[in-house]
Amino acid sequence: MVLKSRTYALMVMMAWASTMFVLLKHLQYGITERSRENAKIKPQALVSNISRGKFLLRENTTSYLGKVEDENKIYVQLEPEPINSIQTSWDLQREAVRCMFQEAWTVYKKHAFGCDEVLPISMKCVDSFGNIGTTVIDSLDTLILLGLEDDFKEAVAWIAEHYTLQRSTKISVFETTIRNLGGLLSAYNLRPLPVLLEAAEMTGEWLLGAYATPSGLPAFAMGLGELPKDAKSTSLADAGTQLLEHSELSNLTKRHIFKDSAKKAFEVLLQELEKRIQDGRTALLPVDIQLMESSVSFGGFLSIGPKGDSFYEYLLKLWIYEGKPESMERYRLLWESTMDAMIEKLLVRDAGTGLVYLGDGKENIKSVSNRMHHLACFVPGMLALGAEGPNTEKYLQVAKELAYTCWQMYQLQPTKLAADSASFSSGRLWAASRRHCLRPEVVESLFYLWRRTGDPIYREQAWEIAKALNQSSRVATGGFTTLLNVESGEKGDFTPSFFYSETLKYLYLIFSPNDIVPLQDFVFNTEAHPFPIRKAE
Ligand code: DMJ
């Protein structure tokens, strides 16, 4: 009897267990499918469903990002993905970033279309670069990547009808090169419409005027296609961030003048750097440059951040862009010398926080500032991209540690958004300047580190930043704005064009499969415009 009832109990338990197994399996399958369905929801539908309250959240936030995260949590908990298909579980985050872009673009279109940049709160616009359609052009390839074809066509139609550089104000040579020329060339590579190349060529011709200096280094700005009389000072980044765009323009137009002019200028900087290395001086160039009548003179201030950054970036990227040929080995070696000098001279481990950071320095003084600029947070990405050969481990180690510091710059603020610079003192990381500028450098580095290491931590950190943008910089009436104060959350009223071309693009790409803009085939200019890598000769 006892035996019988035990057997019976066992049978009941087994039946219960198998029913539960089938039920759970079904539930698991059902939820997984539902998540996949959600991943396919068109962003417009997602946004409008949210605004109708259909996606309201437990935590009572109006953020659509929050809902996406919830879906993702269920998905990840119930069906751990095999490692080789893990990317699919980030589709929802990618859709969320597309929604963010669409919302920001709608705001630009409504209040500022054709103007350089939008003021999303006052619903006005500002011609920060002299009225040269900066956001339209800077956004072209993001519109293509995100599949927003109608908006892309509208932008192209605007360029065909309105784009000109013949303005009465002085226009920045650097910004026109990286945003306008870079944006047009990369869009043309993705959609070869003649109007885009014509606009790029017109931009290149206008830029040629900037090289009419005694040294051949480009002037800082131009007015009406002419050198301003006071074109005497420039910076390392302004003078040394032209050759990638001009090489691509020459390759596409078969006109060598663009590449030749920019190469002659870059050569001035390379020779100065080589001279310093031969003399046993620090293998970095000062950021302030004076264009004299017969020579150029350099100041003494060293920074891998403001006024210096993209010169170092282009040393590496020009070598990559040309397909790493032997004839360009000099660029690669110089880049390594500068990185070694940067690590030796500007990299500090703060005793109080234990964090490493990149300060600014002076050539003959040992100490460096206790401040790291957000702009310098592109360095981890650059190191991850360039880490090859005997220095691989060293560069990757520095990249990972610096990326962690840059990530902390976000995490340690109440708004979870980083200040434009951080200082390290009294055992703490402080917001040295209070502003948050919607800059790309940290998500850019997370993107490169993700592609390089495959470690999901970088996607997780990028997602935290996307959520913080949504939480702290989103404008009630739509769009995203800079912050005046990362502690109080006080908002500014400005959406820079690089938010469209860089910040949201890198966020979108980090949640995309790696074969979307693969890094063995494309190299990004400093404004995140991808150019196809040339085949080595
Ligand atoms: C961008 O315009 C470019 O990345 C540039 O090289 C420096 N940084 C800004 C955005 O922060």
**Radius of gyration over every alpha carbon of the chain, rounded to an integer in angstroms:** 25
The ligand 1 atom nearest the CA atom of 179: 2
In this structure, the residue with its CA closest to atom 11 of ligand 1 is 439
C-beta of residue 462 within 8 angstroms of C-beta of residue 447? yes
Instruction: Report pLDDT for 294.
Output: 76
Expressed in angstroms and rounded, the spacing between residue 452 Cα and the centre of ligand 1 is 22
Instruction: Please compute the mean of the pLDDT values over residues 487-500 and round it to a whole number.
Output: 98
User: Which of 142, 180, 444, 502 most suits a substitution to test ligand 1, by most atoms within 8 Å of the C-beta?
Assistant: 502
Percentage of the chain beyond pLDDT 70 is: 83
Q: What span, in angstroms and rounded, lies between the C-alpha atoms of 21 and 389?
A: 51
Mean pLDDT to the nearest integer, 400-429: 98
* Neighbour-count burial of 469, counting CB atoms closer than 10 A to its CB (0-12 exposed, 13-18 middle, 19+ buried): buried
Q: How many whole angstroms separate alpha carbon 382 and alpha carbon 446?
A: 11
What DSSP string runs through 100-161? HHHHHHHHHHHHHTTSSEEETTTTEEE-TTSSS-HHHHHTHHHHHHTT-HHHHHHHHHHHHH
pLDDT for 267: 98
Choose one of 482, 498, 525 to mutate for the ligand 1 pocket test, by most ligand atoms within 8 angstroms of C-beta.
498
pLDDT for residue 449: 98
pLDDT interval class at 228 (50, 70, 90): confident
When pLDDT is cut at 50, 70 and 90, the band that residue 377 belongs to is very high
Q: Which H or E element spans position 450? A: helix 441-453
> Residue 412: is it exposed, middle or buried by C-beta count within 10 angstroms (0-12/13-18/19+)?
middle
Averaged pLDDT for residues 35-51: 35
Q: Per-residue pLDDT for 67 more than 80? A: no
d(CA 351, CA 507): 32
pLDDT higher than threshold 70 for residue 87 = no
Alpha-carbon dihedral angle through residues 90, 95, 99, 100, given to the nearest 10 degrees: 20
Q: How far is 229 from 350, CA to CA, in rounded Å?
A: 45
The finding on whether 131 has its CB within 6 A of some atom of ligand 1 is no
- Record the tokens describing residue 336, joined without a space: 């390594």
Mean pLDDT of 29-38: 31
pLDDT at 491 over 50: yes
The answer, yes or no, to whether any atom of ligand 1 lies below 6 A from the CB of 310, is yes
Confidence class of residue 6 from pLDDT cuts 50, 70 and 90? low
Residue to probe by mutation, ligand 1, list 181, 242, 439, most atoms within 8 Å of CB: 439
Note whether 183 and 138 are within 8 A (CB). yes
Averaged pLDDT, 75-81: 30
d(Cα 456, Cα 439) in Å, to the nearest integer?
Answer: 22
- b/e map of 83-104 (b: 16 or more CB within 10 Å)? eeeebebbbbbbbbbbbbbbbb
| pLDDT tens per residue, range 154-201 | 999 999 999 999 998 999 999 999 999 999 999 999 999 999 999 999
Q: Give pLDDT tens digits for 388-398.
A: 999 999 999 99
Least Cα distance to 524 among 377, 391, 382, 388 occurs for 382
CA dihedral sign, ordered 118, 119, 124, 129? negative
Cα 485 from Cα 482, distance rounded (Å): 9
Does residue 526 line the site of ligand 1, with CB under 6 A? yes
DSSP 495: B
pLDDT in tens, 509-521: 999 999 999 999 9
Residue 499 near ligand 1, beta carbon < 6 Å: no
Q: Provide the annotated active-site residues.
A: 175, 179, 309, 441
Measure the CA–CA gap between 452 and 386, rounded to whole angstroms.
Answer: 10
pLDDT higher than 50, residue 31: no
State which H helix or E strand residue 278 sits in: helix 257-278
Does the C-beta of 498 come closer than 6 Å to ligand 1? yes
Q: 404: exposed, middle or buried (C-beta count within 10 Å: 0-12, 13-18, 19+)? A: middle
pLDDT in tens, 322-376: 999 999 999 999 999 999 999 999 999 999 999 999 999 999 899 999 999 999 9
